[in-house]
Amino acid sequence: MTAIQDDTASDLFNAAGALMATLSAHADLPAPRITSERVVSPERDDSGALILVWGLSFGFHRDTALSDFEQWRQALGVAPSTVDQGSTGPHAWLSAATAYAGVPLTLTGYYTLAQPDPGEDT
């Protein structure tokens, strides 16, 4: 079971503060697409239910998505061994989770897989 509470704008204070701290500390890095969303925290409440907290997601979609992702991964000290890869059809992504200023933060770099030339034997 998940503990869901009524949210107010004040519940975003921690995520907003972490966002400002992250961007201030790394103002020279490529600008990500930023979203804030509720994510499952590692903690549980007294009844054992999962607790949702507001987290941040940084997405990279341009032709430089993988380079942008890597610059942020290094700047935030996220270990390469924690990066996950996924794909569906020709679309793929790299994803890594960390925390910044106590707020969960996910980095995702989106890219397109190279497609074989239809004239080549596979």
pLDDT by 10s per residue, the chain, length 122: 555 556 788 889 999 999 999 999 999 999 999 999 988 877 788 888 888 889 999 999 989 999 999 999 999 999 999 999 999 999 999 999 999 999 999 999 999 988 777 776 65
Range 35-62 burial, b when 16+ CB lie within 10 A, else e: eeebbebeeeeeeeeeebbbbbbbbbee
- Residues facing residue 97 across a β-bridge: 106
Q: What are phi and psi of 113, to 5 degrees?
A: -70, 145
Q: Which residues contact 39 (CB under 8 A, 6 or more apart)?
A: 52, 53, 54, 55, 104, 106
**pTM greater than 0.85 (yes/no):** no
Q: What is 58-79 written as a DSSP string?
A: EEE-STTHHHHHHHHHHHTT--
Residue 115: the pLDDT is 78
Q: How confident is the model at residue 64, as a pLDDT?
A: 95
